[in-house]
Amino acid sequence: MHRGSDLPVHGGRGGLTAGRRADDSEGRSMADGHDRCGTALSLLRSVLYDATPPAEVPPEFKDVADFETLFRELMSLRTYTTALSEGDLNASLDMRGRVSGALKGLQANLRHLTWQTQAVAAGDLTQRVQFLGEFATAFNTMVDHLQELQDQLRDQAVRDPLTGLLNRRYLAETMPRELARATREGRPLALLMIDVDHFKQVNDALGHAAGDQVLRALGGLLRAMTRASDVACRWGGEEFVVVLPGAPADAGARRAEDMRLAFQTLAFPDQASRAHSTFSVGLAVFPAHGDTPEALLEAADRALYRAKEGGRNCVRVAAQATSA
């Protein structure tokens, strides 16, 4: 491309600097050339600087090769940059070259930024920005903060505030996944249903603060005696559920017994009349006692009832499921 090279000014200037003597006709021609050049430059300056530049190339420049193209490209550039400055990211620029490429690159980055913000708004908090320096730092800090907030909210939604254990909602979400995994891996899964013995008496005799102390202590004990792969939940009131993936009945019963023994040795020195507490456990195992969350919970609940009936402070395993 040699835009502007055909403008008469080059010939005119060349003639003058060569020092050739011009006759009247040549002088007029050079003067005309200067005039046209000046007009052309004014026109291009107008596109760059003025509020309302001419919309079209004047007829006398139509015959100057590439001038009209250059004029139109500058006009396109002007329209495009105006749109960008006003936040319109859908404008298109039918122009090639370095400046056009840089502006399109800016537009691409801004459009990607828009998409990323939309993605964050839709809940995708993995988006991170690597454009616009300080803005990127601020954006990424904001998303980090949102992620922390979301994690906290999520944790609050699935955690029992008194004991710090997971709650019934979490268990409801988790059990189908755990059973699906157990099925896939062909492994058993033990479910313990735990109920604090004579808990009502503690509350009635010593007050709710004493009852809360027992529940918090049991929560701490279950957290300490379960593995990362286990799920320990407060089921409601003084009832707790512990899921032990991979544990068959005998292993589940042994661990339940360990927990029971540990709990009965816990001391509550503030509760003079009841310095110790106990719990009863009903144990059901997948798949022997049920293959759905509901069936397992029911089986464990029935076993827990038998433990209570059998004198409390003991572990009972569910009876084998019988086919209908």
Partner 1 sequence: MGGRKYLFSWDMIGDIGLGRPNLGPLMRLETYRLMEFTFRDVIERRHGTEEADRIFHEAGLLAGKEFFDHVLQGASDFPEFVRKTQQALAELSIGILRIEKADLAAGSLVLTVSEDLDCSGLPDIGDQICTYDEGFLAGLLGAFTGKTFRVKEVDCWCTGGRTCRFTADVVA
Residues marked active site are found at 238
The residues with which 190 forms a beta bridge, in sequence order, are 244, 285
d(CA 117, CA 138): 13
Q: Closer CB to partner 1, residue 140 or residue 213?
A: 140
In angstroms, what is the minimal distance from the CB of 141 to partner 1? 19
User: Which positions touch partner 1 (CB under 8 A)?
Assistant: 95-98, 100-102, 104-105, 108-109, 111-112, 114-116, 119, 124, 126
Q: Closer CB to partner 1, residue 79 or residue 92?
A: 92
Q: Are strands 279-286 and 239-245 parallel, antiparallel or unpaired?
A: unpaired
238 closest CA partner among 224, 266, 217: 217
Q: Closer CB to partner 1, residue 127 or residue 203?
A: 127
Q: Closer CB to partner 1, residue 7 or residue 113?
A: 113
Indicate the helix (H) or strand (E) that contains 259: helix 249-265
Question: 210 Cβ partners below 8 Å, 6+ apart?
Answer: 202, 203, 268, 270, 271, 274
193 closest CA partner among 126, 63, 290: 290
Q: 216 in helix, strand or coil?
A: helix
In angstroms, what is the minimal distance from the CB of 173 to partner 1? 17
d(CA 246, CA 136): 46
String of DSSP letters for 121-188? HTT-TT----SSTHHHHHHHHHHHHHHHHHHHHHHHHHB-TTT-SB-HHHHHHHHHHHHHHHHHHT--
Q: Are strands 315-317 and 279-286 parallel, antiparallel or unpaired?
A: parallel
Q: Closer CB to partner 1, residue 130 or residue 156?
A: 130
In angstroms, what is the minimal distance from the CB of 43 to partner 1? 24
* CA count, 13 A, side-chain hemisphere, 221: 23
In angstroms, what is the minimal distance from the CB of 114 to partner 1? 8
In angstroms, what is the minimal distance from the CB of 225 to partner 1? 35
What contacts 24+ positions apart, CB below 8 Å, involve 137-143?
none
Q: Closer CB to partner 1, residue 129 or residue 202?
A: 129
In angstroms, what is the minimal distance from the CB of 102 to partner 1? 6
Tell me 245's DSSP state: E
